[in-house]
């Protein structure tokens, strides 16, 4: 797919085509992508960007309001909030990415299997799905994390066990339609193996809604991960993580509002970045309105 | 009335799901590392005492047999005893249901009060400034962490302005309304964007339907067309969406109850996790899942009642 008038084999032309395709995306994608990219860069270069050590205590500098030395102020241990937010981005961004990855892989496989095979397999998997969605999502996540013990790994396992349902539904619905398409019939009559038909013929055409959903799912996972840490079931102190920082700041809201306030802004900005990506791509692929 | 016959047989169709829910909650507690008898007795448990507990609770039986006992106990409303509260789990949880239910209903009512005017405004002038604002609010609202919103609301309206209490549930009905306003508003801020978006697009879709053109041709006033025709038909998808989102909303109450120290089931669940009072965690998980199943059942009934075309 190159822009008109440019030959496909031309390397320079291909670059121009790619650039045009990126520029041709909705503006929401550009803004959202920029926000996520900024956080990604901050997370990658945290040791060089952060002005202070995120966990080193300096009790003589405790609870300072935002100033030139500490742009976002300090917490009750005198730790620089800006540095903690920058370091915290590593965890919160990671929760968005890994939180999506495992449910995506499991859900897509289940949806593909269910939709392609049909019959008893489909029925059993869909009953399993019914059971999973009849639990309140976050309550089941909390219950699983409570069983496995607090921490990031438990959070990912819980998400993998519960979060696959949305992807399975989306992919299955696509498979049910696409498996009757002429080109699939053609592939089947050529004697291609089911694996080849599923992976190289149906899946590429069935995956777009799941990919777009994964971006709004990232928003959900970031909020869930931060909420778990806030409840004390996720990242443990003294590590810098946004939800945990808000929990730590809640004690001081009457005297030092900035401790709980700024980490929340960080969550909101990252979540909105992903939301905009999701909305923009949904618009681009004609999945909504 | 035969359309409502499903009210009788739908609960039977739910049996596999209910059994599934019971299996999941049973397995959850059994996956916890460590011997429940040891947790129950603490460090002072002797070998004999542990064996006695095993026998008393059937822990020496095979897992399927234990599950069977679990089901029999559930059917009798027996959820075991809470270690921390030293009372039957069911009594502990039952005493916490009212604040949670109040908060949920309050949040739903607030979101409806917010989303109906917002969606109507946005749909009336599509693409206009109001529509753009509503869209911005929808995107923004989805990315707001409820616990942080709650804390910011406390900072502004409880500490700065002193309009609302910082925490608690209160004594009388008016007290509940006052105490739970900020937590309900926190939850409503998460639900409103979803409802507004949905209601806005159904309003837009319905306004271009043929019956609207026909009504306009008959010279009906705009308000009549909107409320009697468009709005009524747009409600259905929104009611369904409420059913879909009740699971989310319940998850939100767990967080909101913790932020605002409301003595509801969510708060007792979280505090029981730290106390290793797992039977309470199990009971809350189970009861909330039953709540979701029941709500979706009610939504089905309401859907059939609202729309004569729906075949149950």
Output the pLDDT for position A13: 59
* pLDDT above 60 for B1: no
Q: Give the residue on A whose Cα is nearest the Cα of B292.
A: A134
pLDDT of residue B181: 92
Q: Is the model more confident about A276 or about B1?
A: A276
Tell me, yes or no, if A241 comes closer than 8 A to chain B by beta carbon: no
Q: Which of A139, A143, A253 sits opposite B155 (nearest CB)?
A: A253
Joined together, the tokens standing for residue A222 give: 């970031």
Is there a contact between B139 and B120 (Cβ–Cβ < 8 Å)?
no
Chain A residue numbers with beta carbons less than 8 Å from the beta carbon of B255 are 138, 227, 230-231
Q: pLDDT (tens digit, 9 = 90+) per residue, A97-149?
A: 999 999 999 999 999 999 999 889 999 999 899 888 888 889 999 999 988 98
Mean per-residue pLDDT of chain B? 84
Q: What angle (nearest 5°) sits at the alpha carbon of residue B261, between those of residues B164 and A259?
A: 80
Tokens 């500098």 correspond to: A61
Report the pLDDT value the prediction gives residue A210, as an integer from 0 to 100: 92
Say what the pLDDT of residue A12 is.
Answer: 57
Question: Smallest CA–CA separation between A179 and chain B, in Å?
Answer: 28
Contact B182, B154 (CB under 8 A): yes
Percentage with pLDDT > 90 across chain B: 18
What string of DSSP letters covers B159-221? IIS--S-SS---SSHHHHHHHTHHHHHHHHHHHHHHHHHHHHHHHHHHHTSHHHHHHHHTT--
Q: Hey, are the CB atoms on B252 and A231 less than 8 Å from each other?
A: no
- Taking CB atoms and an 8 Å limit, are B28 and A227 in contact across chains? no
CA angle B34, B40, B45 (to 5 degrees): 90
Average pLDDT over residues A164-188: 91
Interchain contact, A138 vs B251, CB within 8 Å = yes
Q: Give the separation between CA A186 and CA A285, rounded to whole angstroms.
A: 26
A271–B247 C-beta distance less than 8 A? no
CB-closest option in B31, B270, B285 to A140: B285
Cβ proximity of A267 and A221 under 8 Å: no
Residue B263: pLDDT above 80? Answer: yes
Residue of chain B minimizing CA distance to A277: B139
Number of H helices, E strands in chain A: 13, 0
Mean pLDDT of chain A: 88
CA distance A58 to chain B (A): 26
What average pLDDT does the segment B46-59 reach?
78
Q: Rounded mean pLDDT of A205-209? A: 90
B104-119: average pLDDT: 91
Q: Which residue has the higher pLDDT, B39 or B146?
A: B146
Q: In angstroms, rounded to a whole number, what is the distance separating the alpha carbons of residues A264 and A260? A: 7
Label residue A10 by pLDDT band (50, 70, 90): low
- pLDDT at res. A8: 47
Q: Label residue A1 by pLDDT band (50, 70, 90).
A: very low
For B26-34, what is the mean pLDDT? 81
Q: Which of A133, A136, A264 sits opposite B251 (nearest CB)?
A: A136
Query: How sure is the predictor about A286, in pLDDT bands with cuts at 50, 70 and 90?
Result: confident
Residues in A touching B247 (Cβ below 8 Å): 133, 135-137, 139
A139·B21 Cβ contact <8 A: no
**pLDDT tens digits for range A71-82:** 898 888 889 999
Instruction: Evaluate if residue A2 carries a pLDDT over 80.
Output: no
What six digits make up the tokens of A173? 């619905």
Contact predicate A113/A125, CB 8 Å = yes
Question: Do residue A147 and residue B32 have CB atoms under 8 angstroms apart?
Answer: yes
Q: Does A268 touch chain B (CB under 8 A)?
A: yes
Give one DSSP letter per residue of B130-146, joined into a string: HHHHHHHHHHHHHT--H
Q: Is the pLDDT of residue A250 over 70?
A: yes
pLDDT at B254: 92
Cβ–Cβ under 8 Å, residues A186 and A176: no
Q: What is the pLDDT of residue B312?
A: 61
Write down the pTM of the prediction. 0.87
B201-210 own/partner pairs: CB under 8 Å, 24+ apart: B201/A289, B202/B233, B202/B234, B202/B236, B202/B237, B202/B238, B203/B119, B203/B120, B203/B123, B203/B230, B203/B231, B203/B234, B204/B123, B204/B126, B205/B234, B206/B230, B206/B233, B206/B234, B207/B123, B209/B233
ipTM: 0.85
pLDDT band at B213 (very low <50, low <70, confident <90, very high): confident
Nearest-angstrom CA–CA distance, B266 and B289: 13
Which chain B residues contact residue A283 at CB under 8 A? none
Identify the pLDDT of residue A267: 95
**What is the model's pLDDT at position B208?**
80
Which of the four pLDDT bands, split at 50, 70 and 90, describes residue A289?
A: very low
Mutate to test the interface with A, among B15, B146, B147 (most CBs of A within 10 A): B147
pLDDT at A7: 46
User: Is A140 in CB contact (< 8 Å) with chain B?
Assistant: yes
């Amino acid at each position: 797919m190159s822009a008109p008038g440019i030959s496909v084999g031309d390397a320079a032309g291909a670059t121009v085509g790619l650039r045009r395709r990126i520029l041709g995306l909705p503006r929401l994608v550009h803004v959202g992508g920029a926000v996520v990219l900024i956080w990604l860069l901050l997370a990658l270069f945290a040791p060089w960007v952060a002005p202070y050590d995120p966990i080193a205590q300096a009790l003589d500098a405790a609870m300072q309001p935002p100033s030139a030395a500490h742009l976002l102020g300090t917490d009750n241990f005198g730790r620089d909030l800006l540095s903690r937010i920058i370091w915290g981005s590593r965890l919160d961004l990671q929760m968005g990415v890994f939180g999506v990855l495992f449910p995506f892989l499991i859900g897509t496989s289940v949806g593909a299997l269910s939709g392609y095979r049909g019959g008893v397999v489909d029925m059993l998997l869909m009953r399993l799905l019914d059971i999973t969605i009849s639990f309140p999502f976050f309550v089941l996540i909390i219950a699983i994390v409570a069983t496995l013990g607090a921490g990031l790994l438990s959070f990912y396992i819980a998400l993998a066990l519960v979060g696959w349902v949305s992807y399975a539904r989306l992919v299955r619905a696509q498979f049910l339609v696409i498996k009757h398409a002429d080109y699939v019939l053609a592939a089947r009559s050529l004697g291609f193996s089911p694996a080849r038909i599923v992976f190289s013929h149906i899946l590429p055409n069935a995956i777009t809604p799941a990919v777009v959903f994964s971006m709004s799912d990232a928003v959900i996972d970031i909020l869930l991960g931060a909420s778990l840490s806030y409840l004390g079931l996720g990242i443990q102190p003294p590590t810098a993580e946004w939800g945990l920082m808000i929990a730590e700041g809640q004690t001081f809201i009457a005297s030092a509002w900035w401790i709980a306030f700024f980490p929340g802004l960080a969550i909101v900005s990252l979540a909105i970045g992903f939301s905009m990506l999701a909305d923009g791509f949904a618009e681009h692929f004609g999945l909504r309105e | 009335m035969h359309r409502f016959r499903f009210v009788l047989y739908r609960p039977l169709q739910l049996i596999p799901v209910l059994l599934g829910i019971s299996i999941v909650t049973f397995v959850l507690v059994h996956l916890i590392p460590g011997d429940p008898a040891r947790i129950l007795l603490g460090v002072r448990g002797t070998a004999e005492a542990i064996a006695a507990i095993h026998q008393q609770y059937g822990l020496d039986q095979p897992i399927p047999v234990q599950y069977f006992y679990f089901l029999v106990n559930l059917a009798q409303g027996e959820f075991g005893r809470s270690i921390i509260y030293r009372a039957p789990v069911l009594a502990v949880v039952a005493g916490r249901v009212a604040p949670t239910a109040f908060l949920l209903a309050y949040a739903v009512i607030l979101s409806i009060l917010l989303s109906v005017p917002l969606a109507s405004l946005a749909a009336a002038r599509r693409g206009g400034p109001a529509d753009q604002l509503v869209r911005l609010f929808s995107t923004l609202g989805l990315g707001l962490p409820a616990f942080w919103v709650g804390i910011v609301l406390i900072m502004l309206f409880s500490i700065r302005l002193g309009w609302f209490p910082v925490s608690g549930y209160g004594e009388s009905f008016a007290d509940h309304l006052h105490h739970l306003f900020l937590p309900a508003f926190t939850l409503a801020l998460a639900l409103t964007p979803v409802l507004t978006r949905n209601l806005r697009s159904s309003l837009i879709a319905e306004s271009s339907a043929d019956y609207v053109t026909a009504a306009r041709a008959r010279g009906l006033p705009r308000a009549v067309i909107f409320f009697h025709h468009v709005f009524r038909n747009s409600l259905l998808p929104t009611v369904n969406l409420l059913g879909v989102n009740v699971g989310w909303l319940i998850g939100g109450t767990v967080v909101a109850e913790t932020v605002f120290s409301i003595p509801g089931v969510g708060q007792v669940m979280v505090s029981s996790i730290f106390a290793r009072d797992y039977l309470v965690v199990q009971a809350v998980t189970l009861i909330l899942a039953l709540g979701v199943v029941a709500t979706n059942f009610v939504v089905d009934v309401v859907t059939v009642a609202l729309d004569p075309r729906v075949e149950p």
